[in-house]
Amino acid sequence: MSKPIHEHVHPDEREFVDRASEWLEGAARYHEMKLTDFLDPRQLQLLTMLANSEPDVTIRLDGGGSGAERCRALIAPDYRDLDDEDTKLAVLSITPADSKFTELSHGDYMGSVLGLGMKRSKIGDIHPREDGCHIVVAAEIADFLHVELRQVHRVSVFTEIIPIDQLQSSESELAEMELTVASPRLDGIASDVYRISRAKILAPIKAGRCRVNWKVEEDPSKTLRAGDTVSLQGFGRFRVLEVGDLTKKGRYRVRVGKFV
């Protein structure tokens, strides 16, 4: 039976909405406490929206820091105090064995961890640094990663498990680009950022492989605004930093930052 919220979410999100509803019902009706895996910002938005309409439930989100993008959620009856509950986070500290290593990217670290058979839902935010990387992980997989991760993009590495309060977070680096486009449409801007023809970028967008602000977007003509974050499966992410004035030829000046 379809839930009312199903009308307002993408079909791909309905399975998550149903699972989240079950978690909330378990807390409200059966006094259960649930610790989820890491949820992306769109899933956190949906869970929070559902929880706000359930007065007998409280939730706590924790990704290791105030600016965390991916968080685990603790869901419990409203009479539970969750401030001191363990959200089971750990930090995998990665240090290249050679101090002269080639700088490794966010994608290099994520690819190596996922290459060990890890689910993305067990991995939180990834914080590359000049001397290595800190990755927030679910505590239950920390020991496995510590033992098994020996290489990142052909670079030998050492690993250490450290407490979450020793996390050294890093700001995502953005490679800025200045574009001029006919209109600030999704397909127009994305084709320039990813250097794909306008015709070829339509297929992945219409196939549901594109997300705008972590929500599936299948409309190539969607207007992008400053602050929007766009991801295209297999091509990475970018953020619209500014949609500026028109040029003399009637094209829009757009400044974007591509995540590196």
In the structure, what pLDDT confidence band is assigned to residue 100 with cuts at 50, 70 and 90?
low
Cα 219 vs. chain centroid, distance in angstroms? 21
Just give the CATH number of 174-259: 3.10.290.10
Helix count (H) and strand count (E) of the chain?
Answer: 6, 14
- Find the helix packing angle between 186-194 and 198-206, rounded to 10°: 110
What is the percent of the chain with per-residue pLDDT over 70, rounded to a whole number?
97
pLDDT tens profile 169-228: 988 788 999 999 999 999 999 999 999 999 999 999 999 999 999 999 999 999 999 999
- Provide the residue ranges of all domains of the chain, joining segments of one domain with +: 4-77, 89-166, 174-259
For the domain made up of 89-166, the CATH class stated in words is alpha beta
Could you write out the three-class secondary structure of 192-209? Answer: HHHCCCHHHHHHHHHCCC
Residue type, 170: S
Reply yes or no on domain 4-77 having CATH 3.40.630.30.
no
pLDDT tens profile 121-169: 999 999 998 889 999 999 999 999 999 999 998 899 999 999 999 999 9
